Amino acid sequence: MNIKYYPLKINRSFKCYKNERLELYQESPFTGIKVTIDNNSIQKEKYVDGILNGESIYHTDNYWSIYSYMCGINIFSYINKYNKDGENIFSFSYHYDEIDIESLYLQNGKRIDGGKYSIDLKYSDINYPQILQNNIDVVKFYEENREFYESKDIIISHANDIISPLKSNVLSNRRNEERVAKTLLAYLIENSKKEGRYNMEDDLILLYVEQERLREKVITENKLSKDIKYIAGVDVAYHDLSQKMVGAAVVLDAETLNVVDSAVHMMEVTFPYVPGLFSFREIPPIKEAYKKLKIFPDLIVCDGQGIAHPKNIGMASHLGIELDIPTIGCAKKHLVGYYEKEKLGKERGDCEDLIWDDRIVGKALRTQKNINPLFISIGHKIDLDTAIQWILKLTPQYRLPETTRQADHLVNQYLKEYVDYDFFGDEDRIL
């Protein structure tokens, strides 16, 4: 087994439970990235003051998973398994406020099983003490059986695991499952506050509520200018060791596809990798780069999802609302839904509907002959057919739009120069 530690400078500290296992390095709680290589497996974990905080990635030849942690609490998990030919045979994901088993598919992309257990969070639900007061029966039952639950290592990410043993109890009939889950989450959060472990700024529930608010603002009709002169692409790149990220905006002439303006912005990574909340991580550096432009675009193409997202508010939609500008989601992979792979033609321009929750949320689009499709969805202030037309116009030679290609090139070139300047020959950083 080979273990390497990559210390980071992070101005944040956490308190932990007395029985919390701390990751130590040189006899002190470790802050940074730990990489473990063992035979055919690799695991990468991020710690702050010895506590998991950020992404934990594990993969082998036929297994890949990512777990996101906040202050030691597992808030999201995503698991993929592959067969010996590298084909995906099983996927599973869940949030701590949403148990999601939507991603079970056959190899041809058709869903064979699924279902969704979701806690419908409203603004009033943020008052955790009130939740506890209104559901004292659930609190009492949990407290009386707390020793059992703690022995099972049940934490905030496993609300459904807490509910399952109560199936035979009146508290957990089907009608009350949501109430039980919300109350238990509130109970655990309130206890975390008392022990100095909880920070409201780290409460992802607030962001899920914010997504509900933003989703209502998405405009799915054309609000494009009649004369589109400039189109922009945006992208973000990361440097793990320094915990920096670079956002870029590149503006192209809509007719010639030549670059007419560009800007970048580097900043600290301020938000962990949490699938489903990607926009909260990437939009800040993109907005700062956008502000530096001298020529502003009439349309933005994002390397990410629009409404083809679990909450129908991916990065393209979120960014469009933030900047009040038409946007298109153009992703290399689909995040939700399925399409009829066998019906998708091989020619440039062939496309098939991407279905999620029994409605069309995007298209699988072939931008070049016999090349893997891209997944196009409405971002903001544009309809799907118009989005498809623009993506085809932006892909005269390559699979990816010129907007995405140019933005990707800019962030990676900037990051390369930064790494060469700051880290060339600096081997002491890798311990």
Tell me the pLDDT tens digit for each residue of 298-331.
Answer: 999 999 999 999 889 999 999 999 999 999 999 9
Say what the pLDDT of residue 423 is.
39
Question: How would residue 402 be classed by pLDDT, with cut points 50, 70 and 90?
Answer: very high
- Cα separation, 171 vs 391, in Å, equals 52
Which option is the CATH number for 219-420: 3.30.2170.10, 3.30.930.10, 3.40.50.920, 3.40.1410.10?
3.30.2170.10
Say what the pLDDT of residue 205 is.
63
The residue-averaged pLDDT of 388-411 equals 96
The answer to whether residues 159 and 96 touch, using CB atoms and an 8 Å cutoff, is yes
27, burial (CB in 10 Å: exposed 0-12, middle 13-18, buried 19+): exposed
| Choice between 142 and 298, residue whose per-residue pLDDT is larger | 298
Sign of CA dihedral 44, 49, 52, 54: negative
- Cα separation, 356 vs 13, in Å, equals 40
* Domain residue ranges in the chain: 2-107, 123-202, 219-420
The residue-averaged pLDDT of 229-254 equals 90
Say what the pLDDT of residue 152 is.
45
| Most confidently predicted of 26-35, 103-112, 121-130, 220-229 | 220-229
Tell me the pLDDT tens digit for each residue of 172-197.
Answer: 444 555 566 667 667 766 776 676 65
- Cα separation, 397 vs 404, in Å, equals 13
Say what the pLDDT of residue 189 is.
66
Calculate the average pLDDT of the chain: 76
| Choice between 415 and 74, residue whose per-residue pLDDT is larger | 415
Question: How would residue 75 be classed by pLDDT, with cut points 50, 70 and 90?
Answer: low
Say what the pLDDT of residue 71 is.
64
Tell me the pLDDT tens digit for each residue of 93-132.
Answer: 544 433 332 322 222 232 222 222 223 333 334 566 777 7
The residue-averaged pLDDT of 54-74 equals 73
pLDDT at 387 > cutoff 90:
yes
